[in-house]
């Protein structure tokens, strides 16, 4: 179907000053425009990926990219045929989002979604707001979005059958969640059945593991840590979660896997969401205990995965100077 990637994120916030600090100084995004009511943040060769507005009631949305105007029309027609109300975004609002054209609609739970084509680029190179290696975006989009939902099953048919998202995997214990992909990124969207509604987190992936570690130091320094460092079982991302100025989190990660979209078939995750780590800082003792139990089972079962390393982002160890490892390599 038409949707290719998670392309941008818009959020209404009364904490623009905080975002103007958090975006560049914590996340490493570049501020491309700041007005009394609007903040535009950049993470790659596009003019912007994140829009924060204090005045525009309609700015909160996840923006999904389609290839061109024809694909956008096709998607709009399919939504309308399913009685989903579709609104064309005005030229001024498309410009505000850094795209040529967009449509706006909602999922059955009322989450605001947008689809767009023609992202506006910029010639100047990306200048991160603090020293980081950069973000992994491109055809895989800006990262992933995760929504709180009351009942995941009520929304799965809409995302899968109407919008064309493909299920990556799902779990029912210790909580129910569905993960969807649009491209080789293991998931671009997930629905977490928490009984709440709204944004749970946005994930952005940085180029080097040290970017994550250095942000983790900052999170501890600024009392922003929401979920401890850990590694996910499905996308193999090593990440932690930070509180944003608003009521949702940013997952800051490295080393996400790429999947073969054509060969992939969805399966149930029976070991919870993380191979290790990812303890929520303020979870109840029951929640913490359930998660730790799932991870202990994963560890006991020998669930381990190789690092997912991009070309040029590693040095192969030639000599370990470790008798145990050398013996292991020699098949002893
Ligand atoms: Fe995530």
The arithmetic mean of pLDDT across residues 255-276, rounded, is 95
Position 259 pLDDT exceeds 80: yes
> Which one, of 69, 85, 8, 5, lies nearest residue 41 by Cα?
8
Cα(210) to ligand 1 centroid in Å equals 19
Cα(169) to ligand 1 centroid in Å equals 13
Cα(48) to ligand 1 centroid in Å equals 21
On the 0-12 / 13-18 / 19+ scale of CB atoms within 10 A, 58 is middle
Tokens of 97: 């989002």
Question: What is the fold of 3-300?
Answer: 2,3-Dihydroxybiphenyl 1,2-Dioxygenase; domain 1 (3.10.180)
pLDDT digits (tens, 9 = 90+) for 112-125: 999 999 999 999 99
Cα(200) to ligand 1 centroid in Å equals 9
Cα(232) to ligand 1 centroid in Å equals 8
Band of residue 319 on the pLDDT scale cut at 50, 70, 90: low
The arithmetic mean of pLDDT across residues 126-145, rounded, is 97
Cα(73) to ligand 1 centroid in Å equals 30
On the 0-12 / 13-18 / 19+ scale of CB atoms within 10 A, 118 is middle
Band of residue 7 on the pLDDT scale cut at 50, 70, 90: very high
Band of residue 332 on the pLDDT scale cut at 50, 70, 90: low
Round to whole Å and give the CA distance between 57 and 43: 24
- Residue 320 confidence (pLDDT): 63
DSSP-derived pairing of the beta strands 87-88 and 144-149: unpaired
Cα(8) to ligand 1 centroid in Å equals 16
- Radius of gyration, CA atoms only, the chain: 20
- Residue 326 confidence (pLDDT): 75
Cα(205) to ligand 1 centroid in Å equals 10
Cα(234) to ligand 1 centroid in Å equals 10
Region for residue 57 given its phi and psi (left: phi exceeds 0; alpha: psi -120 to 50; beta: otherwise): alpha
Cα(83) to ligand 1 centroid in Å equals 31
Cα(321) to ligand 1 centroid in Å equals 37
How many other CB atoms are found less than 10 A from the CB of residue 53? 20
Cα(118) to ligand 1 centroid in Å equals 26
Where are the chain's structural domains?
3-300
- Nearest 10 degrees: CA dihedral of 248, 51, 65, 75? 90
Our separate counts of H helices and E strands in the chain read 7, 18
- Residue 18 confidence (pLDDT): 98
Cα(144) to ligand 1 centroid in Å equals 7
Tell me if the pTM is above 0.75: yes
Cα(277) to ligand 1 centroid in Å equals 14
pLDDT averaged over every residue in the chain:
95
pLDDT digits (tens, 9 = 90+) for 179-213: 999 999 999 999 999 999 999 999 999 999 999 99
Cα(81) to ligand 1 centroid in Å equals 32
- Residue 174 confidence (pLDDT): 78
Position 34 pLDDT exceeds 90: yes
Tokens of 109: 């739970």
Residues of 256-275 as b/e, b for ≥16 C-beta within 10 angstroms? Answer: bbebeeeeeeeeebebbbbb
Residues 6+ apart with CB under 8 A from 137: 43, 44, 46, 49, 143
Tell me if 229 sits within 8 A of 240, measured CB to CB: yes
pLDDT digits (tens, 9 = 90+) for 65-86: 999 999 999 999 999 999 999 9
């Amino acid at each position: 179907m038409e949707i290719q990637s998670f392309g941008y994120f818009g959020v209404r916030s009364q904490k623009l000053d905080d975002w103007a600090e958090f975006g560049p100084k914590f996340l490493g995004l570049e501020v491309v425009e700041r007005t009394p009511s609007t903040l535009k943040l950049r993470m790659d060769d596009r003019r912007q990926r994140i829009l924060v507005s204090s005045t525009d009631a309609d700015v909160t949305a996840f923006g999904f990219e389609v290839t061109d105007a024809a694909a956008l029309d096709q998607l709009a027609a399919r939504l309308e045929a399913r009685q989903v109300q579709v609104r064309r975004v005005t030229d001024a609002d498309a410009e505000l989002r850094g795209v040529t054209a967009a449509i706006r609609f909602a999922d059955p739970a009322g989450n605001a979604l947008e689809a767009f084509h023609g992202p506006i680029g910029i010639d100047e190179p990306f200048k991160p707001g603090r020293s980081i290696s950069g973000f992994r975006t491109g055809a895989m989009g800006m990262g992933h979005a995760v929504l709180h939902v009351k009942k995941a099953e009520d929304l799965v048919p809409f995302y899968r059958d109407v919008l064309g998202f493909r299920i990556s995997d799902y779990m029912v214990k210790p909580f129910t969640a569905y993960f969807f992909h649009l491209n080789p990124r293991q998931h671009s969207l997930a629905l977490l059945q928490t009984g709440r509604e709204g944004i749970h987190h946005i994930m952005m992936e940085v180029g080097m593991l040290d970017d994550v570690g250095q942000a983790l130091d900052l999170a501890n320094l600024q009392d922003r840590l929401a979920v401890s460092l850990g590694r996910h079982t499905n996308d193999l991302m090593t990440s932690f979660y930070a509180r944003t100025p608003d009521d949702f989190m940013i997952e800051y990660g490295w080393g996400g896997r790429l999947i073969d979209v054509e060969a992939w078939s969805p399966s149930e995750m029976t070991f919870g969401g993380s191979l290790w780590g990812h303890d929520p800082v303020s979870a109840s003792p029951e929640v913490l205990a359930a998660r730790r139990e799932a991870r202990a089972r994963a560890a006991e079962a020998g669930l381990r995965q190789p690092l997912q390393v991009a070309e040029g982002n590693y040095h192969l160890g030639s000599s370990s100077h470790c008798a145990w490892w050398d013996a292991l390599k020699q098949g002893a």
